[in-house]
Structure 1
C-alpha cells in the first residue's frame, strides 16, 4: 500500500523541460493577444449589435486587462500551494467557458463580466505556465527558454489583428470568441498530454491569505527582484503606450492605409521576436543585464526622438515608423530578460514571484493604454512622453535598484 504512492511520485520528481512542454507554454502565452487583438477590430460592430456606446465597448477591454492582472496575482500563489497541473487545467476550462459566454452575450453588461472572467482565467493560466518553466530551469537555461517563449509568442500579436480582420470580412464578430473557446480546449488537451506536475508536494507552500501575504512580503523585500520588476513593468507600460496609439499616429495623422498599418505592426512585432531570439542565443555568452541596458538605451532614444517630433514637427511618418520599430525591437531585450532575472531572484517562491510580476505588467498595460490616448487622434505628445518615461524608469530599475549583490565565496 505504501509503495504505489512512491512510484506515482517518481514522474513528478523527474519532470523535465521538454520541447512539448515549452511549446505548450508558448501556446498559453497567446491567450492575451489572441483574445484582445482578434476582438479590437470589431468594436464598431459590437457597439451596434449590443446597443452600446464606444466607451462601454472599450470598457470590456479594460476589464479583460484587470482580470489578467488579478488572475496572475491569485493564480501564482495558489499554484505554489496546490501544484501546477490541476490549477492550470481548471483555469483553461474556466477561460473556455467564459469565451463561450462572450460569444453568446445578449448585452454589453454580460459581455463585460464574461471578459473579466476570461481575463482572470487567462492570467491564471499564463502565470502558472511561467511558474512551470521556473520550476524546471535555472540560470542560463532559464533566461534562454524564457526568451524563446517570448520570441515565438510574439507571433500571436502579428496573427491576432489579421485573423480578426479576416473573421469580420467572412463572418461575424462572435466567431472570434468561438475560436478562442476552441483554442482553450486545444490548450487543455496540450496540457494533458505534454505538461507533467512540476512542483512536488515537498516543495509546495501552505495556502491561505496570510501565507500569500507573507510570500508577497518576502519577494518584495528582495531588492534585486523589485529592480527587475521595475525593469519589466515600465517596459510593458511603454509597449502599451505604442499599442494604444500607433493606429492614430500612423493612420489618422499620417494617412497610412489600414493594410499598410497592419504590415507595419507585424514588422514591428517581428523585430521584437528577432531581438528575443538573439537574446536567447547570447544567453551565457553576454551578460543579461547588458542586453537589457542595450534595449533600454534604444527605447529611450526612440522615445526622445518621438517626443521631439511630436512637439515641434507633427510626428512625421518616417520618424514614427523608425522609432516604433526601434521601440518594439528593444522590448524583445527588456521584457523577457527582466522577467527572467526577476524569477531567478526569488526561486523559493516562483509562483508568487511570477504572479506579482504579471500583475504589475498588466496593471501597467491597463493604466498606460488609456492615458496614452488622452491627446486624441491628432497629437502624439502623451504617447511619446509615456514611452520616454517608461524607458527611463526601466533603466533606473536596472541601474539603481537591481544592483547585483556581491556574494562572498
Structure 2
C-alpha cells in the first residue's frame, strides 16, 4: 500500500488511496491511550514502588515528571521529523521503543533506572501520539477533521477511567512490575495494529526538508499564525485545568471530605465519562454548530465551576456536594474545549501538520507537568490553589479563543 502511495503524483490521488478508515481511527485511539495507561496503571502502587526500590515518595513522583517531560519533547520533535521522513516507519519505530522502555521499567533495579526508562517511554509515546494525530490531519479536512479528532478524544477518554482500575486490579493479583509488563504487551499489539491499519499518508512530494534550520523555519511559520497560537492556548489551558483537578481531587475528596477510596474511584470514573460523552457530543455537532460556539459553551461552564469552587473553599468549608458537582462540570466542559481547540489549531496549519501537532502536544504536556505540582502547593487541607488554577486556566483559554477570532470576511462554519 505504502509503495503504491509513494508513486502517486498528486495529493488528491494519495488521499483517495490512503483513506481515513474506521480501523485507522481505532489504531490512533489505541496510540493516544498509552499516556494515561502508562501513567495511571501504576499510580495506585506508588507506596509499593518506593518500598521495593528503597526510594522516597518524592523520587517515585519524579518518575511521573520524567514521563511528562519525555512526552512533551517527543511530540515537539516527532512531528517535524515525520514531516521530513514520512509517518509510517517512524510510527512503527516509536511504538517499538516504547515497548522496550516498558520492559526496562518492569525489570528496573533502581529508581534512577526507572526515571530514565520512563523518560524514554514518554518520549517514544509522545512521538507515536503526534505522528498518529498527523496522519489524521493528512487525510481529513474541515468538519470531518473536527469530528474525527473529537471521536478520538472521546473514545480515548476511556483510558483515564480504566487505567487506575486496571492498575489496582493488577496490584491485587500481582506486583507493580506487572503493570509495566502489561504496557509492554500493549506496545507489541500497537506495532501489529500500525502494520495492519496505518498507511503512509505523507508521500515524498509533500514532505519538507530536514535539519534544525528547516524545523526553525516551519516553527516560525506555524507560530506566526495568530489563530493557530490562539487555539493552542485554548487547548493547552484546558489541559492545565484538567491536571489541576487530577493533582488535587484525591486530597479534596478523601482527606478533606472523608470520601472512601472506592467512592473516589467511582467519582473519578464518572468525571472522565462526562468528559468523554461531551467530546462525542461535540463530534456530532461538528458541521452543524460553529465549533467556536461549542468551545465557548465549555469555557463558560468551566469558569462557573471554578468560581463556585473558590467561593465554597473560602467561605463554606468546601462542602462535598459542591465539590462533586464542580468537578463533574469542569471535566465535562473540557470535553468541549480541548479536542475542539486542538482540531481548529491543526486546521490553521495544513501545510505543516506534523509541526503543528508537535507544538500543540508540547504545550499540552508542558501545561500538565507545570500545573500539577503548583496545584498542590497549598497542601492537602485547602482547595483554594486548585480553584484559582481552574479559574486562571479557563480565563487563559477564553483569551486564546479571543486571540483566534477569525476575520469577518474569512469566517466559516467550522470557526
Quickly name the TM-score band, shorter chain normalised: over 0.9
Q: 1:386 aligns with which of 383, 386, 389?
A: 389
- Give the counterpart of 1:15 among 14, 18, 22: 18
Return the alpha-carbon distance in structure 2 between the equivalents of residues 298 and 354 of structure 1: 27
- Contact 1:12-1:197 within 8 A present in 2 as well: no
User: 174, 179, 199: which is aligned to 2:177?
Assistant: 174
Give the secondary structure class of the aligned counterpart of 2:129.
Answer: helix
Query: Which of 295, 317, 322 is the matching residue for 1:314?
Result: 317
What is the aligned counterpart of 1:402 among 404, 407, 413?
Answer: 404
Q: Please state if 1:280 is matched with 2:278.
A: no
> What do residues 117-136 of structure 1 show as CA deviations (whole Å, max 9, x unaligned)?
00000000000000000000
Per-residue deviation, residues 95-145 of structure 1 (Å, max 9, x unmatched): 000000000000000000000000000000000000000000000000000
C-alpha spacing 1:364/1:408, structure 2 compared with 1 (3 Å):
closer
- Asked if the contact 1:63/1:115 (under 8 Å) is kept, the reply is yes
Query: Contact between 2:5 and 2:203, CA under 8 Å: does it hold in 1?
Result: no
What does 1:3-402 align with in structure 2 at a 5 Å threshold? 9-10=7-8, 14-399=17-402, 401-402=403-404
**1:73-101 per-position Cα deviation (integer Å, ceiling 9, x unaligned):** 00000000000001100000110000000
User: Which 4+ runs in 1 deviate beyond 4 A?
Assistant: 4-8, 10-13
> Distance in 1 between the 2:275 and 2:165 partners?
18
- Quote how far apart the aligned CAs of 1:8 are: 5.9
Distance 2:407 2:108 in 1: 52
Secondary structure of 1:347's match?
Answer: coil
Q: Distance in 2 between matches of 1:267 and 1:111?
A: 32
* Structure 1, unaligned runs of 5 or more: none
Contact kept, 8 Å, 2:6 with 2:203, in 1: the verdict is no
Superposition deviation, residue 408 in structure 1:
6.7
Looking at structure 2, the residues matched to 259 and 6 of structure 1 have their Cα atoms a distance apart, in angstroms, of 53
Shift of 1:405: 2.6
Q: TM-score, normalised by structure 1?
A: 0.97
Any idea what SS the aligned residue of 2:169 has? helix
Going from structure 1 to structure 2, the CA distance change for 1:149 and 1:213 (only over 3 Å counts) comes to same
Q: CA deviation at 1:313?
A: 1.5
Question: What's the Cα RMSD here?
Answer: 1.4
Deviations 1:42-62 (A, max 9, x none): 110000000000000000000
- Cα pair 1:12 1:196 within 8 Å, conserved: no
Q: CA deviation at 1:6?
A: 6.3
